[in-house]
Every structure is written in structure tokens, then in C-alpha cells.
């Protein structure tokens, strides 16, 4: 029996756990009938469990016997106040390729920290910790609780010396116990401004992400001060990765330029950091060109079966297997030459074909038969990797260490860390890279990475990621909130990721104040930091940039000082609830809850050549948005108040315009199943059909299961990519069967997607129109896409200039329903320049009239129920727009607002209306020091 903190562990005669008892509560935490060996050996293709245990606690060791007793393992055992350690000291009689500690199963499953290796409920925590970089720990869920496990591989760091700690403690002391184990066992225990990083206030600081250099460092630091940032982070400072050469345009004197920037920042109380892709090596780096380093990592190697000249277009190889794995570079190395190849022959003689000799500035040369040839490991970013055993990876970490120590940098991201495990290595390689940096930095450095690992939990300050979606509001309640829940499970500081502050782009709207407030409120609720990505130019162009930065400063200061009460934080993190925060004195703020209406997308359909009937101008209807029509029902949950709204004018569209682009699809027989559709997706039958005078498809599928949300789709590449930058509207005819399924059209551009949703809640033919794919983004999470359209290909920017694929199909076919619909005349609609004129909003007998013209891309914003502001696409105020009539007062409950406007001679444009309601204020006060 061993005491591991409050955990009493008892092993039986075969070194298997027979009890896991919590001494504080008396609870038995080992499931009945569970069999958990202390240490399992992997020998050949067998897993050997111990058959005997002999303990010598005076020598603090146990001897385990395996098989017929000829294989033995010696494990050192040390009992300490908070935990017990087990270290594999000796193996005799076998050379195992790997070992497993446990797995140890428990009855505790309320909260499972899969990465940190700690499981807990409201009373008890039990954990496992790896104590060196070759030992990989983890936890997992089971139907009856959880499992704790660690392992080591002879290939990755070796099995001898593998060491773990096991512990038990009251649930509320789990984090403090890990901190004590770090100190007792010499694990990384990073300090930030004198406080352990896991609880340091510094770890909760947000940061500004801006490309800086000697030419703009003063402007960048001014921007940081305006937003209240203490850390500024460069998203891409390097000309090459590998040797990590700095961009000479920003840092003309290399490291010395960066050091001068860091010194300027320090004088203003700001610390600098930078982003890199860890072990990635660019093809312009000295490791690759002009003479490639022989230590570049490989997926495999062979030899030349024949001699080749310097111009040979095919490369004969003895074994084709190492070259079957082709990445984005498809590069092979022979001596001092890199060759890119297009394919491998499918029969002998084996050859690499379609070769480009002397790739990446290397020199094409003759090579003799039998020469070594290797397939270089690469990444989708068109980069290569270092080998590890050769010491090449260690050279890269040494360069990072020297850069940080020489320049005084204080923040680092190990993005792309997972890449080091893609060519034959496991977590050990990632642990090694980060650990070497941490152990040799002179200064305290905040670090994060693209993924959290068990051992690196001790080193990293937080996680962050650069998935810049179009609107911070679209995914915060899903992807970002899910990440925060993961961090809480793993006792790790929380972060909400990066978000963009900037002006309008061809493929996205300028940053909206509402989105900024929403993300900041959720950050306060989760007590999470965030990263704001922008540039001085973007801020200068954005009319309400000062207001955005003031919001960031107020919210982050209140969060950092712990000003929000637990009740307020609970409200702030609740999905769908909006708030604003305004300074109200020294360390005091006013918090106001806001209620925003859904987006009302509307188009009167007047001035068109076809179809003329406004009832045929329809968009989608659902929980987040409403189909066009001039009546918007606005719910006011608060007291009576003036009408406040934002109206955004979009381009006008005309289905009959000669400049529209019909998206021609092949005959049904020519359609191909979408590649990579998930298993279990329904088949989709297609045949020719005509609707509204346009050619198209009749689509049918049958869901015989008892569950909805089955996917059925057909996908086809377009014969030629389409440039839709002036044709972002989409229109098509649909014949519905009233079955309730969702018909969708998906456009794809370079792997990014835009979906257009049509709920089939009608019978008969209708024309549907969408002014852009972006209008559908907020409903992405309403549907189960089964991997066809993952969030990171859908909620981010989309290149309308290169649309290369179209997919049509169904989602959410009801159980037992045979969907039978048709779609025809899919057309990209030319954006026309008509303005919205004489906007009118009526509530009951009161009508507000704005006798002005609002061009496409511009906003009309009213904040007081009367006059409004005309703002351009970047929210720069152009002029005040007086209102006549009114005032309109929103009463508590539902308010039925009628909206109308005119075109300026052509088709009337689309508009998007959103109404804001404000609740009462409440105080937010920072506690005393």
C-alpha cells in the first residue's frame, strides 16, 4: 500500500491495483472487478502484464516479473507528501519497444481533464503526471468513470527512465497540487511577474497582434496604449523559417533591429513577442537552398536503380513504396539536388515521373546507380521538416533561444507544433522542441501553441489560435466557448483566440461594434484573454476604431481587476446575451444588457425585369433571420425606449439582367459523387427538370433511418473557375415537397465554402434569392454538416474571384421521408449600384422618414429614435441624416415595424435591418487591492 496524497493505492501480488481509496472521504474509487497493472511491457507483438511483485520499500523499489519469470523490471518508488512517483530503472531479459503505466481506471467521471491527466468530481481529484519528456500522460472517459494512462516508446526518447507521479487530493486543490509536484520533481514551473504562470494575472492579459518593425514601432506602440495592451505580437516577422531569418524590410539590421524595437517597447511598459511555425522549414531557407541539408526529414528512402543525367525527366528507383506518400511539395532529395515529381509509375520499372530537376534553387546534377534518394516530409504550407536524431531540430531551437535572449522578446507561439509528429515521431518530438526553448530562455516568456500536450501543459501559459472568422460573434458561442470548456476541464488558463479589427473587404464586412462587444463580454464571462489582430492602417481607415479600442480597454481592465461578480460572469458567458460596458470613474463601470433583433434581410422586388412579382423574391426563413417582407417583429424585453437601429444597404439585383452568370452544370449523368462524403451519407438521385422556365435537376433521396440530419449531396468541379466578385448574389428556382428538409447549394473556392440554405417548408415552385453567401453564415451551426463543410472552411473569408466547385443536396431529411425536390436556374446575379431612397419605418401610427439616399455598402444608423448618421462601408461618418415624423417608441413586448424604401430608377436594393434594445444599468466595481 502507498499513500499518494489523499489517495491510498493498494497493489496485489501480480502488481495490479486492488484499491484506490480516497482517505478524506473513505470512498473506493476503483471500479468493481477492474484489473489495472502497474506496468505493461510491449515485447514484439505481445503486451506482457506483470505476474509477480516483490517490494523492497527500504530501498524504495519494486521488482516486477513477467512471462515465466525470465523477464524482470525494476521500478523505483518514492512516496512524497502530495504524490508517489514510479520510475522504470531496469529491464532484464527483454528489450521492449514500449511500456504502459496502467491504464488505471477510476469511478470518477464528472470532469475529465484529458490532457492534464486529472479527473475530478465535486469532492475528489485523482491525477497522473508524466515527469519527463519521453513519458506521455493522459486521461480518458469511460462509461463508468475515467481512466488514467501514461506510456513511453523506445523510438521516442526511450523507455528506461520513464517516470510518472500519481496523486489524489480534494477537488479544489487539484491545481495547487500539480504546482507542488512541479516543484518537488523539477518539472517546468514558469513564473510570470513573480507568480506561477497558471495563476498569474499576467497570463490573463490580452495582446495586440500587429506586424511591426523599426519603421512603424512607434505607431504600433501608440495603438497598444490606446487599447490598453501590455503585449504586442508580430504575426509573421520571418523571411525564412528554419534559420528564422528576420524580414529585412521590417528589421534591416536583423536581430539588432528587433532588439531596438523591444527596447522602445520596454520603455513604455510593453513587451514584444512573435509567431512562428515551430519546425516548419521554408524552401527559401539555407537548410534547403542552394545546397539542401542532408538532415532534412524524410518519409522514406530508396536508391536509384540506374544512373541518371542532369536533365533526365524520370527518376528510376529501386523501391516505389517510400514515394507513395505525396505532399504538397512532392520533393525527393539526391545528394545536393532536390527533385519535385508528379507521380510514381504503377508498374516496374519503378520511376518517379513528371520531374522538375534542381527544384528550389538547388543544382541539377548527374547521379550514379545506387545513390541514396529520399522522399522529403512536407506540410500543406509547402514547407519541409528537420530530422530529430541528427540534431537538426536542436539547431532550430537553439536559434529561437538565441533570438529571444539577444533581443529581449517575451512572448512566443509554437504554432504548427503537431507537424513534428507527422513523419515518424510522437509527442516526444514536440515536448523536446518546446522544452529546449523554455529551459534556455533567459527571460520569463509567455508561450502558447496550436495544441496542448500533457507534458507541455506545464510550460505553456495559454493556448491561442489564429482562426479569424468573418465575425467574432458567429462562432464564439460554439467553437470558442467549446475551447474554454476544454481549458476549464484541464485546469488551464482560458483564451478566446484571435479576432480581426479592420475595414471592409471584398469578402467580409467591416468590424462591427456589436461583434466587438459580444466577444469582450464572453471573454469577461469566461475570464479569458484574446488576441486582437489589426494594423495601424486598418485602424486609421475604420471610423469607429477609437470606440472599438476603448471597448477593449474597458472590458479587459474590468476583467483583469476581477471587477465582475460571479453572478455577472454567469450572465456574460451565456450564449446569445449581449452587453455593453462603459467607464464610470476610477475602477468603476456601468454594465448594460442589450437585446438585438435578428437580422431582417429585405428586398421589395420593385424595378426588376423578372420576376416582377415581389412575392417571388424570397430568402430563407428560420431562427436567425427572416424572409423578405416589409414587416419586422421586434421583441423589446425592457422598458419603453426610442427606436435604435442599424440599416445596411446591399447591392440591388435583377434576375433578368443580361450581365448575370448562369452556373452551368452537366447533365445528371455527368454528375459525380462528392469526394470524401462521410460514410452513411444518403445517395442522391438526379434527373433533368425544368422550373420557372430554367433547366435544372430533380433531386430525390430516401431516409430510411430513425434519425434526421442525414447528408445527401452531389458535387461537381466547374469547367472553369468563375470570377464572382461582382456577382455575389445567387438566385434559383425550387420546387418543394413540404417535407421540412433543408436544400442547400454550396459554392467552393480554393477549399473555402459558402452555403445557401432553403428550408423546404412549402409545396410548389418558388424563386429564392440571396444577396451574398455571408447572409447565411450565422446559421451554419444550426445544421449537422457531417464534415462536408467544416467551420474553418465556411466561417472564414471566401474568394469570390475563384469559384471552382458547386455542390447541391439535402440535410435534415426527416426520418422515413423520401425527399423529392427540384432546383433549377442557378445564377450568379450581377450587383447593381442602385441606392436605397426615402427609407420609412412605421410602428402603429408613427412613421420615421429619412429623405436621403443610402448607397450600397453604406449604413444608416440611428441611436436615439430620431436623426441618423450615414456611414460608409468602414463606418466613417459622412453626414447627419434628419428624420421627419416620429418619434417611434418601442413598447415592452413585440413591436411590428413596417419597413419600406424606393430605388433610384433601377431595381430597389436589398437591405439588412437590425434593432437594438437597451436594458437597465448595473454597477461593476473592482474590489479593493
Please, which residues have CB within 8 angstroms of residue 498's CB and are 6 or more apart in sequence?
A: 209, 464, 465, 466, 467, 468, 530, 531, 532, 533
* Mean confidence (pLDDT) of the chain: 93
Cell of 254: 536583423
> Does the pLDDT at position 228 exceed 80?
yes
Out of 476-480, 588-592, 638-642, 781-785, pick the least confident: 781-785
> In which band, very low, low, confident or very high, does the pLDDT at 679 lie, cut at 50, 70 and 90?
low
Residue range 497-526: mean pLDDT, rounded: 94
Strand partners, 894: 635
Nearest to 264 by CA among 215, 300, 336, 315: 215
DSSP 95-140: --SEEEEEEEEES--SEEETTTTEEE-SSEEEEEEE-STT-EEEEE
**Integer Cα distance of 307 and 316 in angstroms:** 8
> Does the pLDDT at position 676 exceed 90?
no
Distances (CA, A) of 461 to 203, 237, 661, 840: 6, 22, 51, 53
Residue range 726-748: mean pLDDT, rounded: 94
Residue range 630-650: mean pLDDT, rounded: 94
> In which band, very low, low, confident or very high, does the pLDDT at 611 lie, cut at 50, 70 and 90?
low
pLDDT for res 837 = 93
Q: What is the pTM of this model?
A: 0.94
**Integer Cα distance of 237 and 239 in angstroms:** 7
> Does the pLDDT at position 660 exceed 70?
yes
Please, which residues have CB within 8 angstroms of residue 135's CB and are 6 or more apart in sequence?
A: 101, 150, 151, 152, 162, 163, 164, 455
pLDDT digit string (tens) for 363-384?
999 999 999 999 999 999 999 9
> Does the pLDDT at position 616 exceed 70?
no
Bridging pattern class, strands 625-626 and 111-113:
unpaired
Residue with cell 443580361: 658
pLDDT for res 320 = 97
Count of CB atoms situated within 10 Å of the CB of 100? 19
> Does the pLDDT at position 707 exceed 90?
no
Out of 195-209, 330-344, 526-540, 713-727, pick the least confident: 713-727
Residue 621 in contact with residue 761, Cβ under 8 Å?
yes
Bridging pattern class, strands 672-673 and 712-722:
antiparallel
Question: Assign residue 307 a region: left if phi > 0, alpha if psi is -120 to 50, beta otherwise?
Answer: beta
Give, for 373, the enclosing helix (H) or strand (E): strand 372-376
Amino acid at each position: 500500500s502507498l499513500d499518494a496524497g489523499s489517495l491510498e493505492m493498494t497493489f496485489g501480488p501480480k502488481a495490479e491495483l486492488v484499491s484506490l481509496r480516497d482517505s478524506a472521504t473513505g470512498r473506493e474509487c476503483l471500479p468493481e472487478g477492474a484489473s489495472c497493472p502497474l506496468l505493461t511491457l510491449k515485447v514484439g507483438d505481445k503486451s506482457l502484464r506483470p505476474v509477480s511483485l516483490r517490494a523492497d520499500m527500504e530501498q524504495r523499489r519494486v521488482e516486477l516479473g513477467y512471462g515465466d519469470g525470465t523477464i524482470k523490471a525494476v521500478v523505483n518508488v518514492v512516496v512524497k507528501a502530495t504524490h508517489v512517483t514510479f520510475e522504470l530503472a531496469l529491464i532484464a531479459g527483454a528489450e521492449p519497444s514500449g511500456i504502459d503505466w496502467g491504464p488505471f481506471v477510476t469511478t470518477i467521471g464528472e470532469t475529465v481533464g484529458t490532457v492534464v491527466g486529472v479527473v475530478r468530481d465535486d469532492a475528489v481529484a485523482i491525477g497522473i503526471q508524466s515527469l519527463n519528456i519521453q513519458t506521455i500522460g493522459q486521461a480518458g472517459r469511460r462509461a463508468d468513470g475515467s481512466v488514467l494512462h501514461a506510456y513511453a516508446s523506445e523510438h521516442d526518447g526511450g523507455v528506461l527512465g520513464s517516470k510518472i507521479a500519481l496523486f489524489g487530493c480534494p477537488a479544489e486543490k487539484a491545481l495547487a497540487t500539480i504546482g507542488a509536484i512541479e516543484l518537488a520533481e523539477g518539472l517546468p514551473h514558469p513564473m510570470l511577474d513573480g507568480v506561477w504562470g497558471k495563476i498569474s494575472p499576467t497570463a490573463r492579459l490580452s495582446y495586440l497582434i500587429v506586424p511591426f518593425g523599426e519603421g512603424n514601432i512607434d505607431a504600433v506602440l501608440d495603438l497598444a496604449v490606446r487599447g490598453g495592451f501590455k503585449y504586442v505580437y508580430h504575426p509573421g516577422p520571418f523571411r525564412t523559417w528554419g534559420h528564422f531569418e528576420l524580414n529585412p524590410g521590417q528589421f534591416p539590421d536583423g536581430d539588432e533591429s528587433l532588439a531596438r524595437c523591444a527596447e522602445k517597447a520596454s520603455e513604455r511598459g510593453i513587451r514584444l513577442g512573435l509567431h512562428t511555425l515551430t519546425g516548419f522549414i521554408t524552401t527559401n531557407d539555407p537548410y534547403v537552398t542552394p545546397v539542401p541539408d542532408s538532415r532534412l526529414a524524410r518519409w522514406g528512402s530508396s536508391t536509384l536503380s540506374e544512373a541518371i543525367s542532369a536533365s533526365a525527366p524520370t527518376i528510376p528507383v529501386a523501391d516505389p513504396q517510400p514515394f507513395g506518400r505525396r505532399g504538397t511539395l512532392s520533393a525527393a532529395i539526391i545528394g545536393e539536388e532536390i527533385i519535385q515529381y508528379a507521380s510514381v509509375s504503377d508498374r516496374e520499372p519503378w520511376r518517379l515521373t513528371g520531374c522538375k530537376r534542381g527544384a528550389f534553387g538547388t543544382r541539377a546534377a548527374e547521379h550514379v546507380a545506387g545513390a541514396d534518394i529520399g522522399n522529403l516530409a512536407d506540410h500543406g504550407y509547402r514547407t519541409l521538416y528537420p530530422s530529430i536524431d541528427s540534431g537538426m531540430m536542436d539547431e532550430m531551437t537553439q536559434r529561437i533561444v538565441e533570438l529571444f535572449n539577444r533581443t529581449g522578446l517575451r512572448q512566443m507561439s509554437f504554432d504548427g507544433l503537431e507537424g513534428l509528429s507527422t513523419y515518424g515521431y510522437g509527442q516526444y518530438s514536440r515536448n523536446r522542441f518546446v522544452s529546449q526553448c523554455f529551459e534556455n530562455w533567459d527571460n520569463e516568456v509567455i508561450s502558447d501553441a496550436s495544441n496542448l500536450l500533457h507534458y507541455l501543459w506545464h510550460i505553456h501559459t495559454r493556448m491561442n489560435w489564429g482562426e479569424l472568422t468573418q465575425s467574432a460573434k458567429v462562432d464564439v458561442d460554439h467553437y470558442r466557448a467549446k475551447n474554454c470548456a476544454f481549458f476549464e476541464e484541464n485546469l488551464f488558463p482560458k483564451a478566446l483566440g484571435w479576432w480581426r479589427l479592420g475595414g471592409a473587404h471584398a469578402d467580409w464586412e467591416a468590424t462591427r461594434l456589436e461583434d466587438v462587444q459580444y466577444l469582450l463580454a464572453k471573454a469577461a464571462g469566461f475570464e479569458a484573454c484574446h488576441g486582437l489582430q489589426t494594423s495601424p492602417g486598418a485602424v486609421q481607415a475604420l471610423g469607429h476604431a477609437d470606440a472599438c479600442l476603448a471597448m477593449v480597454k474597458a472590458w479587459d481592465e474590468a476583467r483583469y481587476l476581477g471587477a465582475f461578480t460571479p453572478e455577472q460572469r454567469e450572465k456574460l458567458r451565456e450564449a446569445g446575451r449581449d452587453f455593453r460596458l462603459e467607464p464610470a470613474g476610477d475602477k468603476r463601470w456601468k454594465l448594460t444588457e442589450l437585446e438585438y433583433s435578428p437580422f431582417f434581410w429585405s428586398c421589395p422586388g420593385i424595378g426588376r425585369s423578372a420576376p416582377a412579382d415581389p412575392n417571388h423574391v424570397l430568402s430563407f426563413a428560420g431562427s436567425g433571420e427572416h424572409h423578405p417582407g416589409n414587416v419586422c417583429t421586434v421583441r423589446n424585453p425592457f422598458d419603453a425606449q426610442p427606436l435604435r437601429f442599424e440599416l445596411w444597404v446591399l447591392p440591388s439585383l435583377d434576375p433578368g439582367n443580361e450581365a448575370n452568370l448562369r452556373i452551368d452544370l452537366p447533365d445528371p449523368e455527368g454528375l459525380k459523387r462528392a469526394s470524401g462524403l462521410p460514410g452513411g451519407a444518403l445517395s442522391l438521385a438526379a434527373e433533368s427538370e425544368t422550373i420557372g422556365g430554367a433547366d435544372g435537376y430533380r433531386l430525390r433521396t430516401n431516409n430510411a433511418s430513425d434519425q434526421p440530419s442525414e447528408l445527401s449531396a452531389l458535387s461537381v468541379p466547374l469547367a472553369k473557375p468563375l470570377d464572382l466578385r461582382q456577382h455575389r448574389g445567387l438566385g434559383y428556382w425550387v420546387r418543394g415537397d413540404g417535407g421540412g428538409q433543408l436544400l442547400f447549394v454550396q459554392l467552393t473556392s480554393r477549399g473555402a465554402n459558402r452555403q445557401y440554405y432553403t428550408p423546404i417548408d412549402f409545396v410548389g415552385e418558388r424563386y429564392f434569392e440571396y444577396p451574398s453567401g455571408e447572409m447565411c453564415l450565422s446559421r451554419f451551426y444550426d445544421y449537422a454538416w457531417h464534415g462536408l463543410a467544416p467551420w474553418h472552411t465556411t466561417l472564414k473569408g471566401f474568394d469570390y474571384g475563384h469559384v471552382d466547385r458547386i455542390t447541391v443536396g439535402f440535410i435534415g431529411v426527416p426520418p422515413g421521408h423520401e425527399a423529392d425536390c427540384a432546383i433549377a436556374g442557378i445564377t450568379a446575379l450581377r450587383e447593381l449600384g442602385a441606392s436605397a431612397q426615402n427609407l420609412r419605418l412605421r410602428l402603429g401610427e408613427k412613421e420615421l422618414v429619412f429623405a436621403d439616399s443610402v448607397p450600397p455598402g453604406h449604413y444608416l444608423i440611428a441611436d436615439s429614435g430620431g436623426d441618423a448618421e450615414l456611414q460608409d462601408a468602414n463606418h466613417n461618418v459622412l453626414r447627419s441624416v434628419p428624420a421627419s415624423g416620429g418619434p417611434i417608441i418601442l413598447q415592452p413586448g413585440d413591436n411590428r415595424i413596417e419597413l419600406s424604401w424606393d430605388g433610384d430608377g433601377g431595381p430597389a436594393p436589398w437591405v439588412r435591418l437590425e434593432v437594438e434594445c437597451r436594458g437597465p444599468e448595473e454597477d461593476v466595481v473592482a474590489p479593493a487591492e
